[in-house]
Structures are given as C-alpha cells and as structure tokens.
Structure 1
C-alpha cells in the first residue's frame, strides 16, 4: 500500500532520528488510528484537508502567542480558508492565526506555555515527545524554542486533522513537528530516546498514574527531562482526591493528588531533581467558550453560586507543572 504523502515527513523523521523500534510499528498504528470505520466523521475531516490545499510563499511564526501562517490571500481565498478551518471545530488548543483569520480556541494554551517555558531546559537541538499533545499547538511552540524534532501523540482523529491543516498551510516552512494518532500505551517499551518528554493534561485520565509515570520515564534517555502538567488539589504529601463518576463534568478523572504527593510519586517512579515550578487555579478567562468552540466550557462546570467549587462540589480545577529528570 503506498504511503499517504501526508505521512512522508513522519517516516523521514523516524529514519533520520533512528527511531527504528517505533518505525516498525508505524504503518499499523497509522492504519488503526485513522480507520474511518472506527471514526465516523474522519472521512469528512480528511476531505477538508484535501480542499484546503496549499498557500503560496507562506510565512510562519512559532514564537508568538498565535502560531501563525501568513500568506498573500485574496479576500475570497481568505474566507474560503476560514470556512474550511471552522469545519474542523471545535478547536480546543491554541491560539492560531492564518492570514487574517484568528482561531480563538477554548484554551489559552499560550498562557500555559508562558508559565512553564522559563523553567524547562533549553530545547535547542533536543528531541521532544509531547504525550497527549492535542492538535499540536505546544509542539509547534517547542519547535519555536529550538527543538530539532517534536513528535506529538494523541489518539484524537480530529486533533490529527487540525494539526495537518496547519502543517499543510505552512508548506515547506513547516518545522520538524509530526503527529501520530496514538496514546502513550502505543509507544514501544523502553524506547529511551527523547531528551524531553511533555505530558500535559493526561495524568488524571489514567487509571494507574504510577504506570503512566513509568511509561513516560521509559521514553527518556538517561538524564532526560520530564515536564508534567496535571490537575492537582491543595494539601500535604498524603492528599489525593478520588472523585466520583464525574469531576467538572469529565467522566474519566481518576486521581487528583496534591503537588507534594505528585512529587513523591515521581520519586517513586525513578525520577530525581523533582521540583514544583507552577501551580494556579484555572480561570474562566483561560478556558472558555468561543466562536471556534461553542460547546460547554469551564464556566458551565463550576458551581454557579460558588466558583471555587465544581458543579459536583469538588475544589475547582487547579493545575500544577512539575519538572523532573530521569536517573
């Protein structure tokens, strides 16, 4: 079966960066992750990519809050491009800008990046894995910070299509950032390749958080750095919240530790030099409904009479960033 031209840069990157153990799995993982029989809307989203085409002489910016693609588009082409991008909504991670079209996403992912960027190791020339990376917004910011390779993994086919819409518009100016529609469980065991691994907004969705930390550890070379961002609660090193069926209307939230407890988990999982570099309550300005994400958002998940509590009565979302090194 011929390789989808969309995936050629991904194959080339795996070969260039000696990811042979993963390369062997790649065709099967792409076929399963993009099986239109399993994902009913995927065929339509792929048609959007075909219609989107390319732009001439794109100019790309990866270092500003809006990851942007500038091009000299006519008013009609600009509107057509905007309509096609909107067909891939909801857009949750961003913001992005394509010409004069600003994709105002649910999350101000740039705020999270600004909070953690001063604390991580210099990404220049590093090979980076972004686990649960959504549509790749942070992956492009990592490239803008100097990473020579970024692999974004996320099982969502919608995020795959949003990523490729932006990468396609970047054309030859696209950085070495690639997307694979899989989860952490699909990464070959003991890969021990990446200089930096990010896991942001994933841990609380895992039934076994320690196993997740061990899997993240296995992606890193000795001395590599983990950047972990997740929901936490206030408390001491023994505090862990195990919510009921839902937390802030999310059905698949299992463990919310305190930052201090999470630091202990990281140590138990074989990390060293563990430090808590940021902790903040999520605000309704950072996560909100927009024209590009018209469904319910954070304001709908909080107690209308007490915004410090979720609608279920738990503490409102608080997120922390921890950084650690693999021994």
Structure 2
C-alpha cells in the first residue's frame, strides 16, 4: 500500500524511515485486520479495473486520467461502482476514464489563488498536511519536487489517494495514513510545508505551528490556508459549540492575530496573498458526497452568517518563511 522504501534513498528523509515505517506499518496492519471500514475500502480497491490509462494530465483544473475508450463496458461499470464506494469525494475534481468525479470542493479555485506564488519547487522536499485524496500533491508534481509526502488519517481520503495512484504513477509522491502528531520529529527535513484547511481543527494552533516549524529547513516556505475572522483587530473567534455545524472548529483568528501566531512560532516574511469568502461556486453538494454542504451550513435568511449566527466562512492564504532559530 506504500512505497516507503523509496524514501530510504533520500539522504534527508532516509534516517527517519525506520520510525516512520514502524508507525505506518502498524496502522496498515490495523486496516487489514480489525478496521471494518478499512476492509470495506480495500474491497473497493480490488474492484478497480486493471488498466493503464492512454494518457493523463495533472496540470489542469480537472485532473484527467485516461479516456472512456480505454475501458471495456464491464470495466467502466466496475470503476463507477468502486469510485462510489470511496465516497465522500471532498477534493477534486477528476475525470477518471470519462467518469466526472464532481467533488464537493472545486479545489482548482484554491490552487489558482496559490499557484503563482509558489516559485520553483525543482528538487525540493514537500510535506502536505491533511492531503486528502492528493489533488494538490498531483498538481505539485508537475513542478518536479524531489519528494512529496502527504499525511491523511481519514481512511476514505487515504484510499481515494491509493485508487488514484493506481493510474497516476508519480514515484515521488507518498501518502501516509497518519496524524501530524504521529509523525517523527523529522527535524529540518522539508523545503515547503502545505497546511491548508487544518489549523482551525487544532486545539492548540501555536503548538501545531511550532511542530511544523521544526520540520522545515531554515528559509523554507509555509503555505497556510485557514478560516479567518474579518477585521483588523488582534483577536480570534472561539465558537461555543459548533461553527457551520462542525464541532471540531476551535480558533478562527483575524489575519493580524494569525500573523502574530506565525511570528511567535518562528516564521517571518509573512504575507497574505488572498482573502476570499467561501461561496457555492467553490463548495457545494454533489452526487459524490451524499451529505450536507455549504448551503446547509449558512443562515438561509443571511448567507453571510452561519446557522449558529457566527460570521460566514472566509479563508486566507498566507505564505511565510521559516527563520533560523
């Protein structure tokens, strides 16, 4: 399920391989053994057609894998069923042998906010925290980093990555079914860390930023995308119980407050490259999620507020540099 041995050849990541492999292999043994969801998702992988796509394209908004002509009718039916078993598809979109996987989020919109600011990634090591199905990792691969490591603890999304990787063969991309706190220290390993849609789920955002800083080389680039509170004050919203029906939302800072968090965590050259309100163009219910989405989380009488009465979701894209400590 993983090609961790490939990382052994990397002079920076290789020394951490034994500890990393022990943690990952333990998790995988659980998936194969007593985890009912894991066993069911393994069955979905087994039902994927054994076929090589005639062509692929990861350098476009809808990542394309092959064409419908690559599959026989029975293979198309098996593929459609297997992809359905891997729901919910939160990130995308993808065109997989002619099947349009219309994900809840149009992730190309967020990518377009970021892409022009990334600079060269040639030969660099990248960590994507909360990598989901790997959409951003596949988009990054076109920029030829030497290694991309994603961590994704939620099994549906991890198995979506495994399914896509059957057909998108990038030897430098790895996805590990781990939480950030399960990672080894990996001191000064990564030239770039992506942390998008994660920080507001963390009970202690400063501890998270400090851990990320420790994993980055001096001068490395942090890409941080998170919910923010509009306004110029140095403050953060802490929802009483739920925010947009989610009970795992903790701190939503203003950009000024977030800047202070980053400064105190060891970052400088902090710049906000985008602030955007989340709209139905970017996040909406589709046949590929079978659950509520943005419209259900907002006040029907005032779509700029959540159903709880808090300010509606606004997201900022922040770039920062890991300074020497």
Instruction: Sort the TM-score into its range (normalised by shorter chain).
Output: over 0.9
CA distance in 2, matches of 1:67, 1:255: 33
How far is the alpha carbon of 1:86 from its aligned partner?
1.1
Q: Does 1:254 align with 2:274?
A: no
- Aligned residues: CA RMSD: 1.6
* Residue 129 (structure 2) pairs with residue 135 (structure 1): no
In structure 2, the residue matched to 1:27 is 21
| SS in structure 2 of the partner of residue 319 of structure 1 | strand
| TM-score normalised by the chain length of structure 2 | 0.93
For the residue of structure 2 that corresponds to 1:198, the secondary structure is: strand
Return the alpha-carbon distance in structure 1 between the equivalents of residues 5 and 223 of structure 2.
26
Pairwise CA distance, 1:308 = 0.4
Question: Residue by residue, what CA displacement relative to the aligned partner does 1:145-201 show, whole Å, maximum 9, x if unpaired?
Answer: 32221111011111111000000123xx33421100112112222521111000001
Q: Which residue of 2 aligns with 1:242?
A: 238
Identify which of 297, 320, 327 aligns with 2:316: 320
Q: Which residue of 1 aligns with 2:88?
A: 90
Query: 1:189 and 1:174 mapped to 2: Cα distance?
Result: 26
Does 1:276 find its partner at 2:253?
no
Gaps of 5+ in 1: 1-5
Provide the aligned length of Structure 1 versus Structure 2.
319
Following the alignment from structure 1 to structure 2, what is the Cα–Cα distance between the partners of residues 38 and 155?
16
Moved over 6 A (4+): none
Question: Given the alignment, which residue of 290, 294, 309 partners 2:290?
Answer: 294
- Looking at structure 2, the residues matched to 244 and 32 of structure 1 have their Cα atoms a distance apart, in angstroms, of 36
Change (3 A) 1:190 1:56: closer
Match of 2:108 among 106, 110, 120: 110
Aligned-partner Cα distance in 1 for 2:231–2:52: 54
1:267 matches 2:266: no
State the shift of 1:127 in Å.
1.1
Preserved CA contact (<8 Å) 1:270 1:326? yes
- Partners of 2:20 and 2:183 within 8 A in 1: no
* Matched residue SS, 2:137: helix
Residue 63 (structure 1) aligns with? 59
Report the Cα offset of residue 242 of structure 1.
0.7
Unaligned runs of 5+ in 2: none
Residue number among 32, 40, 62 corresponding to 1:44 in the alignment: 40
Match of 1:16 in 2: 10
**Residue 165 in 1 paired to residue 163 in 2?**
yes
Q: Residue deviations 1:9-65, cap 9 Å, x none?
A: 332134335413431123332234331366421101011112214313542211011
The CA distance in 2 between the partners of 1:52 and 1:66, in whole Å, is 20
1:107 deviates by: 0.5
CA distance in 2, matches of 1:33, 1:190: 19
**Partner Cα distance (1:141, 1:87) in 2:** 24
Q: Distance in 1 between matches of 2:303 and 2:53?
A: 47
SS class of match (1:83): helix
Give the Cα separation in 2 of the matches to 1:39 and 1:285: 36
